Amino acid sequence: MARAATTSDVFNAIAEPQRRDILLLLRDGERPATAIAEELGLSQPGTSKHLRVLREVGLVDDRRDGRQRVYRLDARGLEPVHEWAGGFERFWNESFERLDAYVQDLKRNGSAQ
């Protein structure tokens, strides 16, 4: 089955590690595209393409500041990812509860020796 276009949804957009790096940078505040490229060691054209994809799926907003385009995170676009990952919360909680029980058992058995 063919993979969906990168701009079709947030999951495809964030599948690219460099786009996730851009989102992490923007989590700390807005930045011009040139600063993003410099901080991540990316080319300007490559950065612009990644930012376009992120904008098209609703993960970043941009505004003009003189001759520069400044980008900021729009975390509301991550809601589908949050909802999907939240479906695994019960699994994680059960795993942590089992791990905690195991650690407590080790402590009891270790102190009895």
**Average of per-residue pLDDT values in the chain:** 89
CATH class as words, domain 10-111: mainly alpha
The residue-averaged pLDDT of 1-29 equals: 85
Q: Which position has the higher pLDDT, 99 or 8?
A: 99
Whether the per-residue pLDDT at 4 is higher than 70: the answer is: no
Whole-angstrom distance, CA of residue 87 vs CA of residue 72: 28
Residue 77 has which token pair? Answer: 């676009």
Whether the per-residue pLDDT at 3 is higher than 70: the answer is: no
Whole-angstrom distance, CA of residue 22 vs CA of residue 32: 11
Pairing of strands 31-32, 68-73: antiparallel
Whether the per-residue pLDDT at 101 is higher than 80: the answer is: yes
The residue-averaged pLDDT of 53-73 equals: 95
Q: Which position has the higher pLDDT, 6 or 98?
A: 98
- What percentage of the chain reaches a pLDDT higher than 90? 65
- Return the pLDDT at 8: 74
Whether the per-residue pLDDT at 15 is higher than 90: the answer is: yes
What is the model's pTM? 0.75
Closest C-alpha to 25, from 77, 53, 60, 55: 60
Name 73's bridge partners.
60
- Return the pLDDT at 112: 53
Distance of CA 98 to the CA centre of its chain: 28
